[in-house]
Amino acid sequence: MTNSIEELNLQNWHLERDAQQIAWLSLDCANSSTNTLSSAVIIELARVINALEKNRPSALIIHSGKDAGFIAGADIEEFTKLSDGSAVRVLVQRCWDLFNRIAGLPFPTLALIRGHCMGGGLELALACRYRIAVDEPATRMALPEVMLGIVPGWGGMLRLPRLIGPAAALDMMLTGKQIDAKRGKKMGLVDECVPPRVMKNAARMLVLSGQAAHKLSLMQTLLCGPLKAIVANAARKQVAGKASPEHYPAPYAVIDTWKNFGGNSLAVPAGHPSSFEYILQQGTAANLVRVFFLQQRLKALGKSENPSDFAPRHVHVIGAGTMGGDIAAWCVLRGMTVSLQDQTTERIAPAIGRAAEAFSKKFRGDRKAARFALDRLIADPRGDGVRQADVIIEAIFENLDAKHALFQDIESRARPDALLASNTSSLKLEDIAQALKRPDRLVGIHFFNPVAMMPLVEVVAGQSSDPAQVQRAISFVHKLDKLPLPVKSAPGFLVNAVLGPYLLEAMRCVEEGISAATVDAAASRFGMPMGPIELADTVGLDIAMAAGKALTGSDDAPPQLLALVSAGKLGKKSGAGYYTWLEGKAIKARVYDIPEGLTQRLIKPLLTATQRCIAVGVVDDPDLADAGIIFGTGFSPWTGGPMNYMAQKGNPA
The answer to whether 93 touches 268, Cβ cutoff 8 Å, is no
User: Alpha-carbon distance 405 to 403, whole Å?
Assistant: 5
User: Alpha-carbon distance 427 to 401, whole Å?
Assistant: 11
The answer to whether 35 touches 25, Cβ cutoff 8 Å, is no
User: Minimal CA–CA distance to 627: which of 351, 157, 293?
Assistant: 293
Helical (H) or strand (E) element with 14: strand 13-17
Q: 493: burial class by Cβ within 10 Å (0-12, 13-18, 19+)?
A: buried
> Terminus-to-terminus CA distance in the chain, angstroms?
70
Residue 271 Cα to chain centre, angstroms: 31
Sign (positive or negative) of CA dihedral 189, 194, 197, 200:
negative
User: Alpha-carbon distance 582 to 159, whole Å?
Assistant: 42
The answer to whether 291 touches 279, Cβ cutoff 8 Å, is no
Task: Provide the β-strand partners of residue 316.
Answer: 339, 392
Q: Residue 180 has what DSSP assignment?
A: E
In this structure, which amino acid lies at residue 284? T
CA angle 64, 70, 74 (to 5 degrees): 115
Catalytic, out of 35, 64, 423, 425 = 425
User: Minimal CA–CA distance to 380: which of 314, 316, 329?
Assistant: 316
Q: Strand order in 13-17's β-sheet?
A: 13-17, 22-27, 59-64, 109-113, 130-134, 192-194
Catalytic, out of 63, 458, 524, 534 = 458
User: Alpha-carbon distance 348 to 345, whole Å?
Assistant: 5
Q: Provide the pairing of β-strand 419-422 with 391-394.
A: parallel
User: Alpha-carbon distance 50 to 52, whole Å?
Assistant: 6
User: Alpha-carbon distance 393 to 336, whole Å?
Assistant: 14
| CA distance to 221, 338, 407, 632, per residue, from 483 (Å) | 42, 21, 26, 10
How many C-beta atoms surround the C-beta of residue 172 within 10 A?
24
User: Alpha-carbon distance 505 to 431, whole Å?
Assistant: 29
Catalytic, out of 274, 475, 489, 496 = 496
Catalytic, out of 446, 475, 534, 636 = 446
Helical (H) or strand (E) element with 109: strand 109-113
SS3 of 563-608: the string is HHHHCCCCEHHHCECCCEEECCEEECCCCCCCCCCHHHHHHHHHHH
Active site residue 458: yes
Q: Residue 209 has what DSSP assignment?
A: S
In this structure, which amino acid lies at residue 372? F
**Catalytic center residues:** 425, 446, 458, 496
